[in-house]
Amino acid sequence: MHTLSHPHRLAAWQAGRDRRRLVRRSAQAEFSPGPGRADPVAVLRAQGTSRIQHLLPLRWQRMRADPFAFFRGAAAVMAADLATTPNAGIRQQSSGDCHLANFGAYASPEGLPVFDLNDFDETLEAPFEWDIKRLAASVAIAGEVAGLSERRAARLAVRAARAYADHIAWLAALPPLEAWSTHIDLAAAIAGIDDAKLRSRVQHHLGLTLASGEDHFGLIEQSDDAHRIVDKPPTTTRLDDAEAEAVRGAFADYTATLTPERRHLLGAYRLRDVAMKVVGVGSVGTFCAIGLFVADGNAPLMLQLKEAQASVLAPFAGASPYANQGERVVAGQRMLQAAIDVFLGWTPRPVAGRDVYIRRLKDSRLASVGEMTEASLPFRASLCGHTLARAHARAGNAAAIAGYLGRGRSFAQAIGEFAVAYAGQNRADFARFCEAFDKGVLF
């Protein structure tokens, strides 16, 4: 059994514990927006000015679906709110948009299913609590959307925070290399589900999702040994000639950011087609494209090119040390994620004035481990809290965080209270957003 026996780790743990005198763990429950809080609709409209204007109606429509969908698209709103909450002063590389839908299972480079964070567009160094608070709030909001009472939604948020605290304490006692190398054993996590029906449903879902990735989600059509991307308006459409040329140039430029062996691997493929592909909720309106590459033997490879704007945390946590926002995203992902995409890279030069990064289209991604139903949420809440701890241990000071959190339930209970309070704020913001949507003032 590992213990915090090394003097440096003991000192870090004690320094974290000492932070309790500056910011009580119970203070993490605090959320009291003042009269000067920005109008969420104004925040979203301002963010939309830097996005592709004809895609904004689709963004607003997706956010209009329910309070959780709104929460997904309103990371900029919550970033400003988080900046007003207490923090212990322990900063580290953060996800920046840590909600339930940004965790999932995907194929490792070896083809094995792993569970991890899978979106890093907002990654930046920030107080460690911000990720936990956004995750916990997302758990509470998802619970309410699934029909749970406020009390049960709060329990889910506490469950996520407790899983985080327990796992960060365990990781803090490991040697650095051992902690860095840990991963989430998805099969063991599923096997540990007590409910046999839920366990069977999750296992069945995993099998279906893996199968759906075998044809690249139906995005490729082939005739006479020619491959092309299938048009699926409004989410997958053809680029105009200038945009297509810029995207092709970006795929050529980005190879300079790959290591030699990965550049050699990509060299076995030839770019055959490009198209625009709208993805997600929060990303709608940013420039996103896909490239179809084909190797000898007609083996396809799909890469995704995605715009990287400044992190929504930057106005409150400080600017990124990377001038290129695509490099910022890639650097953050490499720090936080356990199994890195071999094709992950960025373009040294902007594409039509936009910083971008490139990764493999998640053709083997298991987008969600079970539907976010009342039955599956406790499993997801614990798994995501556990996973966030592993990511923070890789990219931060696990001993200092563990020292601040301690072994009790004080921190987790406070995060549960915060999550419920923020879920209430999110409901009010969603109502305000729906009113603006219905009146047409967002367009």
Q: Clarify whether residues 196 and 312 are in a common domain.
A: no
Q: Could you read off the pLDDT tens digit of each residue along the chain, which spans 443 residues? A: 456 767 888 999 999 999 999 999 999 999 988 889 999 999 999 999 999 999 999 999 999 999 999 999 999 999 999 999 999 999 999 999 999 999 988 777 777 778 899 999 999 999 999 999 999 999 999 999 999 999 999 999 999 999 999 999 999 999 989 999 888 877 778 888 888 887 887 777 665 555 445 556 678 887 766 789 998 888 899 999 999 999 999 999 999 999 999 999 999 999 999 999 998 888 998 999 999 999 988 889 999 999 999 999 999 999 999 999 999 999 999 999 998 899 999 999 999 899 999 999 874 444 444 555 667 888 889 999 999 999 999 999 999 999 999 988 999 999 999 999 999 999 999 999 999 999 998 87
Angle at which helices 75-82 and 410-439 pack, to 10 degrees? Answer: 140
Q: Distance between alpha carbon 304 and the CA centroid of its chain, in Å?
A: 16
| Res 369: pLDDT | 46
Q: Clarify whether residues 308 and 385 are in a common domain.
A: no
Q: Clarify whether residues 284 and 239 are in a common domain.
A: yes
Q: Is residue 2 part of a domain?
A: no
How many domains in the chain?
2
Last residue in a domain, options 360, 383, 410: 360
Q: Clarify whether residues 284 and 345 are in a common domain.
A: yes
Last residue in a domain, options 339, 360, 381: 360
Q: Is residue 365 part of a domain?
A: no
Q: Which residue has the tokens 């601040």?
A: 404
Q: Clarify whether residues 167 and 242 are in a common domain.
A: no
Q: Clarify whether residues 176 and 301 are in a common domain.
A: no
| Res 235: pLDDT | 86
Report residue 437 as tokens.
């949507």
Q: Distance between alpha carbon 87 and the CA centroid of its chain, in Å?
A: 21
Q: Which residue has the tokens 């910011």?
A: 23
Q: Clarify whether residues 161 and 55 are in a common domain.
A: yes
Q: Clarify whether residues 20 and 164 are in a common domain.
A: yes
Domain hosting 130: range is 7-213+371-439
Q: Clarify whether residues 314 and 239 are in a common domain.
A: yes
Q: Is residue 316 part of a domain?
A: yes
Helices (H) and strands (E) in the chain, counts: 17, 12
Q: Is residue 45 part of a domain?
A: yes
Report residue 190 as tokens.
């599923």
The DSSP 8-state label assigned to residue 102 in this structure reads: G
* CA atoms of 191 and 188, how far apart (whole Å): 5
Q: Is residue 1 part of a domain?
A: no
Last residue in a domain, options 329, 360, 391: 360
Q: Is residue 433 part of a domain?
A: yes
| Res 208: pLDDT | 52
The DSSP 8-state label assigned to residue 416 in this structure reads: H
Q: Is residue 366 part of a domain?
A: no
Q: What is the pLDDT of residues 306-350, one digit of tens each?
A: 999 999 999 999 999 999 999 999 999 999 999 889 999 999 999
Q: Clarify whether residues 430 and 293 are in a common domain.
A: no
| Res 352: pLDDT | 87
- Across-strand partners of 357? 306, 346
| Res 442: pLDDT | 84
* CA atoms of 422 and 33, how far apart (whole Å): 10
Q: What is the pLDDT of residues 30-76, one digit of tens each?
A: 998 888 999 999 999 999 999 999 999 999 999 999 999 999 999 99
Cβ atoms of residues 88 and 23 within 8 Å? yes
Q: Is residue 20 part of a domain?
A: yes
Q: Clarify whether residues 262 and 350 are in a common domain.
A: yes
Q: Clarify whether residues 430 and 309 are in a common domain.
A: no
